[in-house]
Amino acid sequence: MGRVDGKNVIVTGGARGMGAAFARRLVADGATVVISDVLVDDGVALAAELGDAATFLPLDVTDESAWHDAVTFAEKVFGPVSGLVNNAGIVHVDPIERLAEADFRKVIDVNQVGVFLGMKAVLGSMRRAGGGSIVNISSIGGIIAFSNILGYTASKWAVRGMTKTAAQEFAADNIRVNSVHPGVVVTEMTADSARSQGMSGNQPIRRAGRPEELANLVLFLISDESSFSTGSEFVADGGYTCL
């Protein structure tokens, strides 16, 4: 028996990296998964790999009407949504004095507004499911600060606070909301970043994390095993933030 049997989960940014690891882990333990992303080819290939328990839907997380269509699609294919992993995210590197407003706003729109729209969009479906679990992927950049990524840091701190507000508002509907705060994890987004690779050298666990390690944490939060956890931060950073 799988740990998330009967759960219908939407994973944003699910075509590759951590999102793909989340989708694989959830399907392996019994969930049906709607993989959503703007990376269509990667998303279609992943859904084909995972078989009948997964499907792909292109989704721009900054588009409220697209979110409505995504939830409608998920219900039509697999039934009411009982899990959401808000994983879609981008980063832009520039010092504040050179950071263009348009670049700042783009990061906020994807990383912060996208999370807001996702939580809002699934609420009715989760009520129809009798409850659910929302996992918002933040970062250790939502607990501490880093230079040259103002938009990313701002958005990830916002996700942390939004998670707590949603947890308070949604609890009456048996919907839990938690945030996950990864440290350096080897993905396509971080593989070429010398700064990211150097960060793990001084932390207690002296290596970068693997997407599969974060997927185990997401699985726990989507499952009923975490039934007493809501409004909380779950940090997986090799001990970076304990220094």
Active site (catalytic) residues: 152
Residue indicated by tokens 């932390």: 203
Question: Of 78, 33, 75, 76, whose CA–CA distance to 56 is shortest?
Answer: 33
Count CA atoms within 13 Å of residue 217 on its CB side. Answer: 21
Dist. CA 2–CA 166, nearest whole Å: 28
The values of phi and psi at residue 56, to 5°, are: -115, 140
Dist. CA 3–CA 225, nearest whole Å: 8
The values of phi and psi at residue 228, to 5°, are: -105, 10
